[in-house]
Chain A
Amino acid sequence: MAGSGKAHLRTDAENLLQVEDLTVEFPIGKDRVVYAVSGISFDIRKGETLGLVGESGCGKSTTGKAILQLPRPTSGSVKLRGQELTELEGQELRAKRTDLQMIFQDPISSLNPRRRIGEVVGEPLRVWDSGSDEEHWEKISAMLDAVGLDPDVARYKHPHEFSGGQCQRISIARALVMEPDLIICDEPVSALDVSVQAQILNMLEDLKIKYGLTLVFIAHDLAVVKNISDRVAVMYLGKMCELSESDELYANPAHPYTNLLMESTPVPDPLAVIDDSMLSEGDLPSPMNPPSGCRFRTRCHLADEICERAEPQMQRINDNHYVACHHPLVDVAEVEVAVGN
């Protein structure tokens, strides 16, 4: 898989976030290194939702955290409104992080159990905002109201008095209160029941319109990602396989891995044919010793000698759809092999 090349980056207008050649490696002693993210590039426009999907261990959460410089990427560039974040230090970086917020997977453990909801949501304001307590409370209550909680009831309660879905609403209110440019949602609904998941997804869509939010939505559930994203990037073992507008991706998956993910997704329809032809028996290889060439080749039924030798580069299928594969499942309109770096 591929994933190198930048043919898919957009240059025709300003990007809110531009990530280039992002690499994150974790040394684990004895000269061994976990190659968590290996040179991925993408961009996000204001008001857009980018979905990141892939199996556990593909580097999607690490990518989200690396945007926040938590941890700092090993190399590569992360630009927010043209400003390079990887070069910022200390106070400058801390101040810049207020433009970036994160929502985590487990809503209950991401809230301090000893704090009241008013304090939890208001803490960013206490640190960064010079306004008075009354002004803060006005903002806090507006946010709690926006996520469907009664501000006066919630204010003095503790997180344990709320259900998982409500705690996730509180996390969202906390992320919104600084009016960030970009929110990174790391599996925000995977710990929730399907009924609650629908409430949270609908709410994120509404808030996105109301506050003009830009989201990076990380999840492993393809249906959830399709529902909320404008564009979807499929990741595998630290590389990006495919990037596309979401309806186009699901209608015409070009990468064998995308196809494998889709075929594996259970469909709530008893008449759906379970297709095993694409099924791979293998597991994800170790990110400490990723395969040469295309990283997906060890599980790909189309893999041949070239996949072992050369790493595929991002190629254009159409303006909204790019794939990094030597044997894409749809015709590549114009072969536009991007020149490395």
Chain B
Amino acid sequence: MAAAPQSPRLTEQVSEDPLLVVEDLRTHFKVEAGMVKAVDGVSFTLDRGKTLGIVGESGSGKTVLARSIMRLNVSPNAITTGSVRYNGEELVGKSAKQMQKLWGVEMAMVFQDPMTSLNPLVKVGRQLTEHLRYHLGVSKKEARLNAIELLKSVRIPEPENRFGVYPHEMSGGMRQRVCIASALACGPKMLFADEPTTALDVTVQHQILNLLQKQQEDRFMTMILVTHDLGVVAGRTDDIAVMYAGRMVEKAPTKHLFADMRHPYTEALFRSIPKTSNPKHTRLSAIAGRPPDLINPPPGCKFSPRCPYVQDRCRSEEPQPQPAAAPGHSFSCHFPVGTPESRAAFDANFEAGLPQTLAAAGEIVATEELVETSGAVN
């Protein structure tokens, strides 16, 4: 692809080391009411050319995690600790100025809202040539050719004509293609896609996901796909990490995760999705309550106030990650799904009329107050 002719990767020896090693990463935001622990002790590694899906509800910390890795949390009240090694290089502690050498060239991000992530006053072409000229130092003419080539590669019809239009003249799907082209312009090794299709229609979502997958394969990119939709990550990722309250509660190769969910939160997320394969009026299994307050999270397991399997131990002792049967599969839970202990716990809770257990069984309970009330106890 002509757009990245200087891509160093073509000549570089492909190393066997993981591209990204994250260790005990924490991002806290200082606010008036205290510290918001948005990301609280996340560790994982990501091999070259692989795609990792990060799923969770709003407020689970998935976006902040992606931004912390890229060091896009620039506000002065954000405090990031821990370690992020990208290609052996430590990123935590780098300033925005130092990161500029990496942004675009080594790592790039596609954002959720294609309507607002392009500058409305700048023509599409210049939004693509800008970083080509800055990072790769190519001439104006060459940058234009590269940009048109890029537009072609993201399958924008009539790329020569589209070069000179403003973002508002394009549809949402087309704009997201431009955003992807812009992210790919300098041939990054690592692409972050933060809910890239959430603002788009389902037919366009399918096109964009196909495009991302194809570009990832063609360019041997490493990708992190952040989404709230388990359906989106199911067919498109090698591994999935499930986040809750700033932690990775379960991580597994995609096929293992769906075949053998161990964490109650993963199971609950999966079961609350309506599926077209079910007959109409199927009772949905809901998750009671809502994500915890990240300033004063509950003690013990953070999911315990909403967990249908919760036992006394969960409320006091925080579970640590433990390996599951399949390689690469780990989870943090005292009563993992599928064990006799968890079944007994569920039955006991159901007997006792615990609201979250009833909700999981599809019964309607007035539960949204639940987290607040149980949070007030401690």
Contact = CB atoms under 8 A, between A and B. Distances in A.
A197 B282 CA distance: 14
A56 interface: yes
Contacts of B270: 268
Contacts of A9: none
Contacts of A276: 210
Contact count band on B: 35 or more
A264 B203 contact: yes
Contacts of A162: 368
B284 A198 contact: yes
Contacts of B364: 148, 199, 202-203, 206
B203 A266 contact: no
Interface in B248-286: 254-255, 257-258, 268-270, 272-276, 278-286
Interface string A268-312: 111110101001110110000000000000000000000000000
At the interface, is chain B mostly helix, strand, loop or mixed? loop
Interface string B349-364: 0000000000100101
Nearest to A257: B203
Given A193-B58, A262-B276, A163 B368 contact: yes
Contacts of B209: 266
Given A267-B235, A280-B203, A149 B366 contact: yes
Contact of A195 (B174, B206, B269): B269
Contact of A271 (B206, B255, B268, B287): B255
Contacts of A262: 276
Interface in A191-215: 193-199, 201-203, 205-206
B254 A270 contact: yes
A272 B288 CA distance: 29
A58 to B, nearest CB: 9
A199 B286 contact: yes
A311 to B, nearest CB: 22
Given A165-B368, A166-B368, A279 B206 contact: yes
B285 A198 contact: yes
Nearest to A195: B287
A163 B372 CA distance: 11
Interface residues of A, number: 56
A76 to B, nearest CB: 26
B102 interface: no
Contact of B279 (A55, A247, A270): A247
B232 interface: yes
A148 B276 contact: no
Interface centre among A194, A230, A247, by most B CB within 10 Å? A194
Nearest to A192: B58
Interface string B280-310: 1111111110100000000000000000000
B130 interface: no
Interface of B: 57-58, 155, 171, 173-174, 201-207, 209-210, 228-232, 234-235, 254-255, 257-258, 268-270, 272-276, 278-288, 290, 359, 362, 364-369
6 contacts: A202-B283, A222-B276, A226-B276, A230-B280, A267-B276, A270-B234
